[in-house]
Structure 1
Amino acid sequence: MKTLILALGFATLASGCAASHSARMAHEPMERPASQYDARLVDPATGQALSVQALATRLADTDIVIIGEHHGHHASHLLQARLQQALWRLNPRQVLTMEQFNLDHQPALDDYLAGHTGETEMREDANAWDNYRASYRPLVEFAKQHSLPVIAANAPANTVRCIGRLGPDYLERLDADERRQLPDAPFLDTPAYKDKFVEAIGGSHGTKDDELSGLMLNTYKAQLLRDNTMAARILEARERHPDHQVIHLTGTFHSEDRLGTVAVLEKRAPDLTIAVISPVNWPADADSPPLEKHRERGDYLYFIQPLPQEFRDDERRREAMTERFSRSPEASCD
């Protein structure tokens, strides 16, 4: 009996210590990311810091996990790779969908995954982004090693560019096969997303009108085509691979605040569960994480060091943002 009492006592003590440790960890101040590789995950509802494994456990039964990124930020891409692997260990039925490949290059991506071509051939044939090897290679290679589907989710670059130049009526010029690859309703929208777009493009120098017009409107429609195409490709992946979890990689503009691609998904498939993970910059002069004003950016956040400032000239920044939203290779719109 004495042995049993002692055992119960030790068990209670151990349980109490574990609970105390967990509570202490939840309230300990979070450290600022030490380098451009570091990300600090947090639950914005509670302010609790999370490990990658703890987040994966929470997301194990989620249908679609969208990991927003700052393009080219090492911390974003390292977190994506680690979370991809952690989720796969909990559920190996996984599909990777990527903004970084356009849907018309799916055959080139499939050839590489099947071992028919080499990486350089794939990058050339699929018009991979310049930072593919530094940012996305680990994720694609993990999928390839485990025979996981990888879906090119973005709209064809030339179609996006021509809509940005000529407007949404350009879709009528596409042949039947090209149009069939795009969503039936390619410009689904939400008012909040339009406001966000106007602010990003124009800032203090842009339009303050409620309605967009001219080139700005066309550029916005091109942006909507990207969001709607990614949403459609994600849903197609779910149909082709039932019971698989979709991991979607995208620039955070397409997903934060549950706008863009996320809003389209919620309209098209309201029964699916979607988790959004969004980056938040932690400025060098901030002693504590900037949580309060960013809580709504995602279901989960990760703090990262800001990238070096791109522009100090506001006019050059505005011009660059306009170009960025409508960017794609030169080609004919005839």
Structure 2
Amino acid sequence: MNKLFIVALVVLIGSLNGCAAMVYSNKNSSEARPQTLYAARLIGSYSGVELSVEALAQRLAKTDVVVLGEYHGHQAAHLLQSQLQAALYSHKPLQVLSMEQFNMDNQAAVDTYLSGETGEAEMIEDSSAWDNYRGSYRPLVEFARQHAIPVIAANAPAKVVRCVGREGADYLGKLPEIERERLPNNPFMDTPAYRKKFIAAITDSHSAADEAMGERMNNTYKAQLLRDNTMASRILAAREAHPGHQVVHITGTFHSEEHLGTVALLKQRAPDISVAVISPVAWPAGANEAPLHSNRHKGDYLYFIQPLPEAFRNEEREQKAMSAKFRRPANDTCQGDSP
């Protein structure tokens, strides 16, 4: 989950109250920086070795879970995901696709599409697919459908996440028992480093430090933990349901970079599982050389991409746009009704 999404969640709560590998070099700066918004340069975080998609797939062929972080809506991230999905499949056809972009309570809508019972437009509507599904995630799901690969709706139910963000962890007590049982055990399992990172990201965007802001921040963090714990448990359930399969998990980079979030919770729940994290890094403006050293901690492998255009330069217009986008409908309550 990128910083913009974190800000959006705070606003929401506030409104309610193949080629051979080569060593990375900057000798030819015209080739160093990705030339288009579709281009990505894959580099081993600690080896400094630049890799093709095929070379990376070979390295990851025996990894239990491959976590592909993304900046939501970035063309290079989505193209790389599709390419690596296919390359990994060529080495290990026993594959499961796990996606943050579908919520677990919409699994049936995804399954009926994969089985041919519904069409794509029906699936998009029935699953509450993200607005950018056709442009960003369609290739992943279509590859899975064409090769009979299971697709896991990995995220927590959207309404439960929203209401935990508003009311805190106690909201789960309002859910019917059948709904609570579908959520992971210990749904707010945590790691200190992740909390520190999350709070730093929010305070960087929201400077207020009063008591009310502190409570909203804590509730927001609980909602984030619910997402991460749900995705971790869904990945493990997929491995249990499909023994010997490699899970390819697609997620916003905040959930996975530095081996925090979903990845840390995955390792807590299953210490023996092997996980590889692939994280995006935006190439700094005006730089000829990728800042490899300062970003090594973000993943086992990095892919350097151009930054997306700045969405707003007027802070007031940005706040208005965010408030309008995430304004709560009048009938959207958290009074114990089922999600």
TM-score (norm 1): 0.87
Q: Which amino acid aligns with 1:260?
A: G
Deviations, residues 71-99 of structure 1 (Å, cap 9, x unaligned): 00000000000000000000000000000
| Ranges in structure 2 where 5+ consecutive residues have no aligned partner | 1-18
Q: Tell me how far 1:177 sits from its aligned partner.
A: 1.5
Q: Is contact 2:24-2:43 (8 Å) kept?
A: no
Deviations, residues 8-54 of structure 1 (Å, cap 9, x unaligned): xxxxxxxxxxxxx968x325436211111001000011211100000
Q: Which amino acid aligns with 1:26?
A: V
Q: Which residue of 1 aligns with 2:6?
A: none
Q: Which residue of 1 aligns with 2:267?
A: 266
Q: Which amino acid aligns with 1:32?
A: R
TM-score (norm 2): 0.86
- The correspondence of residues 270-281 of structure 1 with structure 2, limited to 5 A, is 270-281=271-282
Q: Which residue of 2 aligns with 1:177?
A: 178
Q: Is contact 1:41-1:302 (8 Å) kept?
A: yes
- The correspondence of residues 5-84 of structure 1 with structure 2, limited to 5 A, is 25-29=22-26, 31-84=32-85
Q: Which amino acid aligns with 2:107?
A: Q
- Partner Cα separation in structure 2 for residue 313 and residue 281 of structure 1: 22
Q: Is contact 1:106-1:152 (8 Å) kept?
A: yes
Q: Is contact 1:198-1:206 (8 Å) kept?
A: no
Q: Which residue of 1 aligns with 2:216?
A: 215
Q: Which amino acid aligns with 1:133?
A: R
Q: Which residue of 2 aligns with 1:254?
A: 255
Query: Which moved further from structure 2: 124-133 or 192-201?
Result: 192-201
Q: Which residue of 2 aligns with 1:96?
A: 97
Q: Tell me how far 1:206 sits from its aligned partner.
A: 2.9
| Ranges in structure 1 where 5+ consecutive residues have no aligned partner | 1-20
Q: Which residue of 2 aligns with 1:127?
A: 128
Q: Tell me how far 1:258 sits from its aligned partner.
A: 0.5
Give 1 or 2 for the bigger CA radius of gyration: 1
Q: Is contact 2:34-2:41 (8 Å) kept?
A: yes
- Identical columns (%): 61
Q: Is contact 1:96-1:151 (8 Å) kept?
A: yes
Count of aligned positions: 312
Q: Is contact 1:161-1:328 (8 Å) kept?
A: no
Q: Which amino acid aligns with 1:184?
A: N
- Partner Cα separation in structure 2 for residue 204 and residue 241 of structure 1: 41
Q: Is contact 2:20-2:55 (8 Å) kept?
A: no
Q: Is contact 2:20-2:52 (8 Å) kept?
A: no
CA RMSD of aligned residues (A): 2.6
- The correspondence of residues 113-192 of structure 1 with structure 2, limited to 5 A, is 113-192=114-193
Distance of aligned partners of 1:206 and 1:189 in 2 relative to their CA distance in 1, 3 Å threshold: farther
Query: Which moved further from structure 2: 194-203 or 78-87?
Result: 194-203
SS of the residue aligned with 2:285? coil
Q: Which amino acid aligns with 2:293?
A: E
Q: Is contact 2:45-2:296 (8 Å) kept?
A: yes
Q: Which residue of 1 aligns with 2:240?
A: 239
Deviations, residues 227-278 of structure 1 (Å, cap 9, x unaligned): 0000010000000000000000000000000110001001000100000000
- Partner Cα separation in structure 2 for residue 316 and residue 197 of structure 1: 25
Q: Say if 2:108 is the partner of 1:111.
A: no
Q: Is contact 1:38-1:75 (8 Å) kept?
A: yes
